[in-house]
Amino acid sequence: MDKTINVTLKVWRQAGPKAKGHFETYKLDNISTDASFLEMMDILNEKLISERKEPVAFDHDCREGICGMCSLYINGHPHGPDSEITTCQLHMRKFKNGETITIEPWRSAGFPVIKDLMVDRSAYDKIMQAGGFVSVSTGGVPDGNAIPIPKAAADEAMDAAACIGCGACAAACKNGSAMLFVSAKVSQLALLPQGKVEAKRRVKAMLSKMDELGFGNCTNTGACAAECPKAISITHIARLNREYIKAKFAD
């Protein structure tokens, strides 16, 4: 038999980007501990709709920990109290019976609120457009052994490429910095020969766009890496700084 719990939800409600937001309190009873956090949010919305009230707007898509859309700030942690997971992978067994759960949107100047728990994360897309790509013509799919790459470099590049761009790093950072995201995207290309051609232009363009979009600077507190659902290492920020210094000296 499934275990169930009763919870109190303090949910951030905001009608639009320019509206003044506030918390509203809801009570839910008999929530299965096997339910995911987003399934619990679905139950809340079904309850609100049945009461002819406005449902809570929140982002979700794959619900498999892949897309990074489920960006919720739960009890003071991006994606909730569990580690190395996205919100959609969080289950209600992580909460106690009678617990009050505070749910907020990302808090960052670079991620303005659209409505309730939804934020505009297109800033990350703009940073990627500024330089997170390889523009050379690669033709067909090359043989895997055609370009020798040291395994250590390939492994580290793949670790950096695991970043899903959810925005938890900026939400966790006291400065609202996107440095962990930008450094992961720089690393995944800087470590590979295909990314060397545009390396100098890339790092300068992506950092410039990050600053332009209102993200803060990194002060190495490490909150970004601690809250990252894909365990992206803060060492990538060190590589980003090295790449930037090399690019500036090459001018």
> Each residue of 71-106: pLDDT tens digit?
999 999 999 999 999 999 999 999 999 999 999 999
Confidence of residue 145 (pLDDT cuts 50, 70, 90): low
In angstroms, rounded to a whole number, what is the distance separating the alpha carbons of residues 161 and 104? 27
Sequence-distant (≥ 6) Cβ neighbours of residue 212 within 8 angstroms: none
- Which pLDDT belongs to residue 77? 97
pTM, 2 dp:
0.92
Buried b (16+ CB within 10 A) or exposed e, 80-118: bebeebbbbbbbbebbeeeeebebbbbbbebbbbbbbbb
Confidence of residue 147 (pLDDT cuts 50, 70, 90): confident
Neighbours of 235 (CB within 10 A): 14
- Which pLDDT belongs to residue 152? 93
pLDDT at residue 1 greater than cutoff 60:
no
